[in-house]
Amino acid sequence: MSCLDNRLKVLGSSGKLYTCYSSCHFCTCPAFGFTVLQKSESLLCKHILAVYLSQAMGACQELTVSEEQLTNILLAEEEEEA
C-alpha cells in the first residue's frame, strides 16, 4: 500500500491546507497527531472524514459540512463500533 495514493488537500476551517492520505489513514493536521495518534480518542480527523465522504459520494467535490454535522457523524460512527 502506497501512502502516495489518494493524497488530497483539504482546506481546514482555520484556513490552513492539510494533506490527507486516505489510503494509509494519515493527515498532517495537529488534531490528527494529538487526538488520533497520541490519545487514541478518535479514529480520524475531520479532514480524513471529508476525504472519505467525498470518495463515498463518487466525486471529489467541495463538500461543506458544519462542525455540528461533523460531530454527529463522528458520534454515530463511535456508537456503531461500541
Judged by the rule CB under 5 A, the positions of this chain that interact with Zn ion are 18, 27, 29, 32, 45, 47
Least distance to Zn ion from the beta carbon of 45, Å? 3
Least distance to Zn ion from the beta carbon of 6, Å? 14
Of 19, 26, 12, residue with least CA distance to 67: 12
- Helix 46-56 to helix 67-81 angle (10° resolution) is 80
Q: Which residues contact 6 (CB under 8 A, 6 or more apart)?
A: 21, 22, 23, 51, 55
The smaller minimum CB distance to Zn ion, of residues 67 and 82, is found at 67
Least distance to Zn ion from the beta carbon of 55, Å? 15
The smaller minimum CB distance to Zn ion, of residues 21 and 32, is found at 32
